[in-house]
Amino acid sequence: MTSPLTRPLTRAERIAALHAAAKERILVLDGSWGVMIQRLGLSEADFRADRFVAANGYDESHQMKGNNDILCITRPDIISDLHDQYYAAGADISETNTFSGTTIAQEDYALDAQAVWDINLEGARLARAAADRWTEKEPHKPRFAAGSIGPLNKMLSMSSDVNDPGARSVTFDQVYEAYRHQVKALNEGGVDLYLIETITDTLNCKAAIKAIKDLEDEGMDALPIWISGTITDRSGRTLSGQTAEAFWNSVRHAKPFAVGFNCALGADLMRPFIAELSRVADTLVAAYPNAGLPNAMGQYDEEPHETAHFIEEWAASGLVNIVGGCCGTTPDHIRHVAEEVAPLKPRAIPERPVALRLSGLEPFEMVA
């Protein structure tokens, strides 16, 4: 039989390795993609390449610059290099460059469904290839590719018209279909898990969960699901109004591999909400904060050692199983984080009593 060290692991082997690694150590996710891409100073031509031009039927009056996801197709060399930078820094998991890879989000760039499919398929293939290269190089530390599923630029729970509380710019079915399209491509491209992230609207998240579960019922490979919400400010609530515990009660039916928070806040301000989730969630808890809050120019000033100091305290306090970085974080941030949490044990998953647990904007619990 061929040794696992001399051939790429199968998907089943990779998922088993992911679960095993999560029991052994605190896993590390990569950092920001946006800040790294912005530093490159790419031109409109970099984003369009030869494909997304008028000669091929694409409207060049819509600026493509800034559509980072399209680089999976037009500049795959950049995306592969960023995966390598984060894996080299110590990340166990790197995300696909598909945060806005839905037909709904890509309407802003007038992209058709085939182009969106290709973004996700190629994004997953690039992440898969990078993870396999690093696993072959360092078999004692397998690397994993997470399919990034972002929050959309339209919300199901909130009105799109201040004068009409019932107005919505999308329906649940439309959001469901957009996520279904993305999930199928990510799965085909070879990701190891899904990361439904930066969730501002829990109903959007539920549409993504349903898309995944329905596709699994139809025969698609079942993969671990990581759900990451966003607490938007010091109120301790998501944009759609839920507290940390209420958010967990809303998504726990998905039996996620991990649940947590990312974005909006730096590690210092995120801590109480991670602590609350750590108390109530009977699964892995994950957190990847911003590098502090942005300054007046929208830049992030928190140094790598500062971010790592906050996250090391979370880990030492037994709050987390997976950590990483969001806006403003770089490979240097991830390197410092990985070094700080390496000697620390992952959070012990609590056993919670059987109870009726409901959620609206706030949680309700009735123990049997």
Mean predicted confidence (pLDDT) in 62-69: 95
In the prediction, which pLDDT does 5 show?
52
In the prediction, which pLDDT does 66 show?
96
Give the pTM: 0.96
Mean predicted confidence (pLDDT) in 153-171: 93
Residue 2 pLDDT level (bands cut at 50, 70, 90): very low
CA–CA distance, 89 with 28 (Å, rounded to integer): 10
CA dihedral (26, 24, 205, 354) in degrees, to 10, reads -120
In the predicted model, is pLDDT for residue 8 greater than 90? no
Mean predicted confidence (pLDDT) in 183-193: 98
Cross-strand partners of 284: 258
Task: Tell me the per-residue pLDDT of 88-132, one tens digit each, with 9 for 90 and over.
Answer: 999 999 999 999 999 999 999 999 999 999 999 999 999 999 999
Tokens of 305: 């050692």
Tokens of 294: 């942005």
Q: Which of 252, 238, 261 lies closest to 158, judged by CA?
A: 238
284 neighbors 22 (Cβ within 8 angstroms)? yes
In the prediction, which pLDDT does 4 show?
45
In the prediction, which pLDDT does 211 show?
98
Mean predicted confidence (pLDDT) in 210-237: 96
Q: What are phi and psi of 197, to 5 degrees?
A: -125, 165
What does the radius of gyration of the chain's CA atoms come to, in whole angstroms? 20
Strand spans (E) along the chain: 27-28, 93-95, 144-149, 193-199, 225-229, 258-266, 284-290, 322-323, 355-359, 363-367
> How does 46-74 read in b/e, with b if 16+ C-beta sit within 10 Å?
bbbeeebeeeeebeeeeebeebbbbbbbb
Residue 6 pLDDT level (bands cut at 50, 70, 90): low
> How does 210-245 read in b/e, with b if 16+ C-beta sit within 10 Å?
bbbeebeeeeeeebbbbbbbbbbeeeebbbbbbbbb
Mean predicted confidence (pLDDT) in 269-279: 97
Tokens of 174: 């439309």
In the prediction, which pLDDT does 3 show?
46
